[in-house]
Amino acid sequence: MDWLEADFNVSPPEPWRGLLMVELMDLGYEGFEDTAHGLKAYIPKMNADVGSLRRLRVAKDPHCRITHTVREVPDENWNSRWESSFQAIDVDGRVHIRAGFHPAVAGFEHQLVITPKMAFGTGHHATTRMMVRAILDLDLKGERVLDLGCGTGVLAILAEQRGAVEVLAIDNDPVAVENAKETVLLNGCKCTLVEEGGTDLDGRGSFEAILANIERNTLCRAMSGLSRALSPGGVLLLSGFVVADLDQMREAALAQGLQPEGQDTEGEWAMLKCLKNGTPA
């Protein structure tokens, strides 16, 4: 499958780069790479509407200047370049996320080994790091956990390492599903199942913790289903949106009976923690 690479020159980069990424997610772009001059974004050629890039809302803001070029990138070349540039990540000295060709580093509570491909969720993005930090604050021993929009599977693997006895990782991108299955095996997970699917959670049972690092519009549409799937007393971690969307996300959660309990921010990106009232079963 061939991909299109949209290379954006963003001036100034912040906060416009993050806002641009959010809008591109809405258009179906699936892979992102920060650059010195802005952002590169990737989409399957068959799904691309190049004309939509001329109608970007963020590009019309008078406080920034955004230009772009587009080129076709064969899948195997894209992945090869992604892998060659992948750097290991240290999250607060507690979690080390690395590729198989990186040496292990002693002193971390958790070592996560991934095969970096197209899938979002390598740990380089602020939203993934915030979710990792929030998971470290949870007691997941003996619990059932859902990782919705799992990407590479990093959050699901960490949840199992934190004591979850059953982890369901779901993504609607078959490339991400394939990548996550490889990563789960690579990390010796015994309790994590990876499946292709969307945000319809009916029939999947209930979860003591749900991890959803997707994007604002999808999260808002899925909030009622997330609330139904969350056990009483359970915790929902939400990310994939910018700080300016925090109020909207709080309102969406409250409307479904969820109580916002904490938040985190890194740069222009945000994470929201919500609880479901009630006594755990």
Interval 7-53: pLDDT, tens? 999 998 888 888 898 889 888 887 777 788 988 888 888 888 989 99
Distance (Å, rounded) from C-alpha 210 to C-alpha 140? 11
pLDDT tens-place string over residues 45-86: 888 898 999 999 999 999 999 999 999 987 665 556 666 667
Helix axis angle, 126-136 to 154-161, nearest 10°: 10
pLDDT of residue 180: 92
Angle at 201 between CA 196 and CA 205, to 5 degrees: 110
Is 258 or 87 the better-scoring residue by pLDDT?
Answer: 258
pLDDT of residue 116: 62
Task: Give the H/E segment covering residue 266.
Answer: strand 258-266
Q: What is the mean pLDDT of the chain?
A: 89
Band (pLDDT 50/70/90 cuts) for residue 118 is low
Distance (Å, rounded) from C-alpha 124 to C-alpha 281? 36
Pairing of the two strands 65-74 and 95-99: unpaired
Mean pLDDT to the nearest integer, 90-115: 90
pLDDT tens-place string over residues 218-258: 999 999 999 999 999 999 999 988 898 999 999 999 999 99
Domains of the chain: 2-82 (3.30.70), 117-276 (3.40.50.150)
Is the Cβ–Cβ distance between 234 and 210 less than 8 Å? yes
Band (pLDDT 50/70/90 cuts) for residue 139 is very high
- As given in the structure block, the two tokens for residue 213 are 């690092």
| Upstream peptide bond of 12 is cis (omega within 30 degrees of 0) | yes
Torsion of CA 49, 54, 55, 61, to 10 degrees: 140
Distance (Å, rounded) from C-alpha 97 to C-alpha 79? 18
Distance (Å, rounded) from C-alpha 247 to C-alpha 28? 24
Please give the share of the chain, as a percent, with pLDDT higher than 90: 59
Whether the pLDDT of residue 281 is over 50: the answer is no
How many of the other CB atoms lie within 10 Å of CB of 79?
19
pLDDT tens-place string over residues 124-137: 678 899 999 999 99
- As given in the structure block, the two tokens for residue 51 are 């004309």
Got the DSSP string for 7-59?
Answer: EEEEES-TTHHHHHHHHHHHTT--EEEE-SSEEEEEEEGGG--GGGGGG-SGG
